[in-house]
Each structure stands twice: as structure tokens, then as C-alpha cells.
């Protein structure tokens, strides 16, 4: 985490969290989701325009990626100064780039190690790593297939709808927060 972010958190410790405004797609691209995008549906809905606008500014993307992490409940966020901006995930919290030597790098640039390979019912490849679970980038499926063919990796079947619970992450923090608010509202 950037020092400037840590300083802002110390200076303004009670800034409200932000939900629904930032998304990470299955290719490791970041999206800004304004009110209009959010009104069209969830980030992963597939509804045209619901993802929002793809971020293109390299320095902003680098800042987000340096300050990307998860809380104890498996909600992924970008720490934007004193404000925690929770991230809507299309598929998983990480998107892995697989190199020709089968080394693995996150969409954020962090290097990690292969621990296991999973294939869901749609044929999508996921890797378990010390950083957590992530999806193999579509451009790297051929290299991943070679790792499987040569025996460097072993594949295990998995049901996609089980991944969140099994690996402790939440695809939509906004939906989780809305459910909490509804429960709190009905208890009042």
C-alpha cells in the first residue's frame, strides 16, 4: 500500500466505504461504474453498459493495483486514500498471466506460484496460488494447456458456483452490502 494512502487513512479514519463503483473483469481490466452503469444491472450481468467505462489511464490503473487487497470477509477493495472502494468481480479476484516457463503473474504485476489448477463446467481455467484463486487470462490458455499436457500442472474439476465459498471471496460486495442493509432495516 502506498505511503500516501496510509497517511490519508490515519488522518481521516472514518470515511464511508464505497460500493458498486469499481469493477474487475475476466481479463484483468478495471471499470468505473457510474450511476447509469449501476442502474443497468450488476457488473457481471452481461447487460450492455452495466460494466461501465473501462479505465485506460496507466497511472490510475497502477495506483489501483498497488492498493488492491481483501478484507477478512473476502471482499476485495481498492484503498483510495482514506476511502475503501469495494470491487465488483466478474469472475475472480485475480486474473493470471501464464508465462512460457509456466510461471504465474497477477493482472496487478505481482508474481506468485502455481499450487493447483481447476476447470469449471464451462471449461474456464482457474489457478490456486499463495495469493488466492484467479482465472487464467484467455490469451494464456494455450500456455496453460501445455503445462497440463507436459504434466507440470494437474487439473481438477470444480463447479463455478462453489468457488466463492470454497476460496473465501465475494463477487459482488455491493449485493452483499445491500443484503446487510435490508436485514438491518427490517430489524429496526
Q: Give tens-digit pLDDT for 137-150.
A: 999 999 999 999 99
Distance CA 97, CA 108 (A): 10
Instruction: Report helix, strand or coil for 20.
Output: strand
For the chain, the average pLDDT equals 92
- pTM reported for the whole predicted model: 0.88
Q: How confident is the model at residue 9 (pLDDT cuts 50, 70, 90)?
A: low
- pLDDT of the residue at 120: 97
DSSP of 29-88 = -EEE--HHHHHT--TTS--TTSS-EE---HHHHHHHHHTEEE-TTS-EEEEETTEEEEEE
- pLDDT of the residue at 175: 87
Percent of the chain clearing pLDDT 90 (strictly above): 81
Provide the residue ranges of all domains of the chain, joining segments of one domain with +: 3-91+169-187, 94-167
- The string of pLDDT tens digits covering residues 137-183 is 999 999 999 999 999 999 999 999 999 999 999 999 998 787 656 56
- pLDDT of the residue at 117: 98
* Cβ-contact 91, 13 below 8 angstroms: no
* Cβ-contact 81, 5 below 8 angstroms: yes
Amino acid at each position: 500500500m502506498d505511503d500516501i494512502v496510509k497517511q490519508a487513512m490515519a488522518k481521516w479514519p472514518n470515511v464511508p466505504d464505497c460500493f458498486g463503483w469499481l469493477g474487475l473483469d475476466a481479463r484483468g481490466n478495471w471499470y468505473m461504474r457510474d450511476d447509469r452503469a449501476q442502474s443497468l444491472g450488476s457488473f457481471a450481468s452481461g447487460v450492455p453498459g452495466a460494466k461501465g467505462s473501462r479505465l485506460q489511464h496507466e497511472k490510475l490503473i497502477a495506483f489501483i493495483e498497488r492498493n488492491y487487497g481483501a478484507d477478512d470477509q473476502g471482499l476485495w477493495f481498492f484503498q483510495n486514500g482514506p476511502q475503501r472502494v469495494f470491487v465488483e468481480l466478474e469472475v475472480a479476484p485475480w486474473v493470471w498471466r501464464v508465462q512460457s516457463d509456466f510461471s504465474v503473474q497477477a493482472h496487478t504485476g505481482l508474481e506468485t506460484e502455481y499450487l493447483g489448477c481447476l476447470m469449471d463446467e464451462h471449461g474456464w481455467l482457474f489457478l490456486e496460488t499463495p495469493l488466492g484463486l484467479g482465472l487464467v487470462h484467455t490469451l494464456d490458455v494455450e500456455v496453460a494447456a501445455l503445462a497440463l499436457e507436459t504434466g507440470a500442472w494437474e487439473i481438477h474439476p470444480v463447479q463455478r458456483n462453489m468457488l466463492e465459498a470454497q476460496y473465501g471471496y465475494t463477487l459482488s460486495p455491493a449485493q452483499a452490502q445491500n443484503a446487510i442493509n435490508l436485514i438491518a432495516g427490517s430489524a429496526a
